[in-house]
Amino acid sequence: MTYLNASWVYLIIQFVPHRTCAGDPQQFNLRPGEPLAIKKRSSLIAIILYIVGLIPLLMVAAWIGALVEERIKQSAKDEALTELLLAKSSLEASLFRDVFLSDSLATVFSIDPEDASKNFQNIGSRLIERSQNVRNVGIAPNDVVEKILPLKGNERAVGLDFRTVPSQYKTVKAARDLKDVFLAGPLELVQGGRAVIARLPIFYDYPRSENYWGSISVVIDYDRLMNSAGLLDIENAKVALRGVNGLGEKGEVFEGDKLTFEQSDYQGTLIVPNGEWAVAAKFDATITQTQSLLIDIGRLSLLFLYTLIFFGTFMLWRSYQIERSMANRDALTQLFNRRFSLSYLENLMSKRKPKKHFYVLVIDLNRFKEVNDKYGHDVGDSMLQLVANGLEKSVRASDIVARMGGDEFLVVVNRVETEEAITSIIENIKKNVESESVEVSGSILKPSLSIGFASNTEGAGTPKDLLKLADQRMYEDKSKG
């Protein structure tokens, strides 16, 4: 139902004539001269057909939507649950892989702690390279951090005595008592982000594990771990996790909302080394799949309605465009006319804080009166059309070109902020236009332009002042010959 309502709104926007701003050149892309053929009766018929087609369509859409709504919601929940279980398995596998690599490092240290410590740079670097989510790894003989990789960004950690930091020493001691890996966290890192830390105890007398040497701490990037698994990116699902330090249901909520556990559609366990995290998910049905299922129905209905209202709305649209175009175009050159260009400038300059700078170019066709007097108005008109075409080809689609009257033209150049840039544009215009020619009675006539420019940042408060400044500079250009 929601989708079809949205579709009809879109259809109305596309075909019903809009009231547009007089300062938008993109609205007047039709050439003048096209006939107006619409009548009041045609407009009335189009409106009646539109309403007659719309009412039954909405009724049918509502009926069908009610039938399929429950099925779509259940389908969305099933799909989200499948994605959740896959993401949970992926996270477990990724976490255990990095912990397994960390345990391999611990095994090397258990064989010969002193020798392994000397070669820590090599074996520690290999661990980081082969892992997916390990940020850094450090060794702490007698629970005092001696070395850490990478050292950059972690210099302050070297020399840290875990026994002086109760929150960290608690997890180090837990690993020692467990005589196995202990997963601490997730916790916030001082350098930013979150991590889980694998604490691995090292004993001189492995496997008896009674003579304690120290520990290895492997910091695993929690955010990277979660992002790679996609557990928190499941569409139509709110996911929450609890069980800091592997305590499962007894632990604190560290991801998502606590209410998710109370209102969950699914609860399960995510296995971590020597512990677990509790997972809860609440599935929210959305209209995304409803849209995809109803789209075919919408297409058929839209086709029916389109057939009923096409001719009426299309003719209204065309007549509107033609009328607007004729009112804002110069009949000879088919450029925008003086009325439109002044309205456009008024609209630009009425904004308190224009987002972009713009320039105006006042362009005069040199010796045009001589061409008219000597060769006649037909040749003069051809020259004006030649210049108009050249100007349009020399500027961007975001700029506007207008004929202000006689042999005077105006170009509004948007999104240009420097005088060097506008000078380059002027040179390009002169190069393009003045390279064109009109042949008459064996003579080749080439247009010559004088161009003045002004920017909206030069203090002109009105279009009149802005054009006056550009006009003065145009005459300065003309005086140079």
pLDDT tens-place string over residues 168-217: 899 999 999 999 999 998 988 766 789 999 999 999 887 788 899 999 99
- Specify if 161 maps to a domain: no
DSSP per-residue codes, 417-431: --HHHHHHHHHHHHH
* Pair 368, 463 in one domain: yes
**pTM of the complete model:** 0.49
Confidence category of residue 75, pLDDT binned at 50, 70, 90: confident
Q: Is 410 helix (H, G, I), strand (E, B) or coil?
A: strand
pLDDT at 336 over 80: yes
- Confidence (pLDDT) at 84: 92
* Pair 351, 324 in one domain: no
Last residue of a domain, one of 271, 300, 328: 328
Q: Give 443's strand partners.
A: 440
List % helix, strand, coil for the chain (3-state, nearest 5): 55, 20, 25
* Pair 298, 397 in one domain: no
Return the closest-CA partner of residue 83 out of 343, 206, 266. 266
- Specify if 236 maps to a domain: no
Last residue of a domain, one of 328, 349, 381: 328
- Specify if 304 maps to a domain: yes
Tokens 């096209």 correspond to 34
Tokens of 388: 């108009």
Q: Give 359's strand partners.
A: 413, 455
* Pair 394, 468 in one domain: yes
* Pair 434, 358 in one domain: yes
**Domains in the chain, number:** 2
Query: Which uninterrupted H or E stretch holds 451?
Result: strand 449-455
Tokens 């830390």 correspond to 197
pLDDT at 302 over 70: no
pLDDT at 26 over 60: no
Last residue of a domain, one of 270, 303, 328: 328
- Domain span at residue 35 reads 2-72+287-328
- Specify if 426 maps to a domain: yes
- Specify if 117 maps to a domain: no
| Angstrom distance (rounded) from CA 83 to CA 107 | 36
pLDDT at 33 over 60: no
* Pair 469, 378 in one domain: yes
Return the ∠ at Cα 270 (arms to 241 and 137), rounded to 5°: 85
Q: What is the chain's mean pLDDT, rounded?
A: 82
pLDDT at 21 over 60: no
- Specify if 65 maps to a domain: yes
Residue 250 burial by CB count (10 A; 0-12/13-18/19+): exposed, middle or buried? exposed
Mutual angle of helices 463-479 and 338-349, in 10-degree steps = 120
- Confidence (pLDDT) at 8: 37
Residue type, 88: K
Return the closest-CA partner of residue 98 out of 224, 180, 220. 220
Q: Is pLDDT larger for residue 65 or for residue 242?
A: 242
* Pair 311, 376 in one domain: no
Confidence category of residue 354, pLDDT binned at 50, 70, 90: low
Side-chain-side CA neighbours of 255 within 13 Å: the count stands at 24
- Specify if 144 maps to a domain: no
| Angstrom distance (rounded) from CA 99 to CA 32 | 75
* Pair 354, 469 in one domain: yes
| Angstrom distance (rounded) from CA 474 to CA 472 | 5
Residue type, 94: S
Tokens of 357: 């700078």
* Pair 345, 472 in one domain: yes
- Confidence (pLDDT) at 215: 92
CATH, residue 423: 3.30.70.270
| Angstrom distance (rounded) from CA 346 to CA 464 | 9
* Pair 439, 360 in one domain: yes
* Pair 367, 319 in one domain: no
Tokens of 142: 């007698």
Q: Is pLDDT larger for residue 53 or for residue 199?
A: 199
CA dihedral for 135, 141, 144, 145, sign (positive or negative): negative
Tokens of 321: 């465009």
| Angstrom distance (rounded) from CA 178 to CA 201 | 9
pLDDT at 154 over 70: yes
- Specify if 464 maps to a domain: yes
* Pair 322, 384 in one domain: no
- Confidence (pLDDT) at 45: 64
pLDDT digits (tens, 9 = 90+) for 97-119: 999 988 888 889 888 888 888 89
pLDDT digits (tens, 9 = 90+) for 380-425: 899 899 999 999 999 998 899 999 989 999 999 998 989 999 999 9
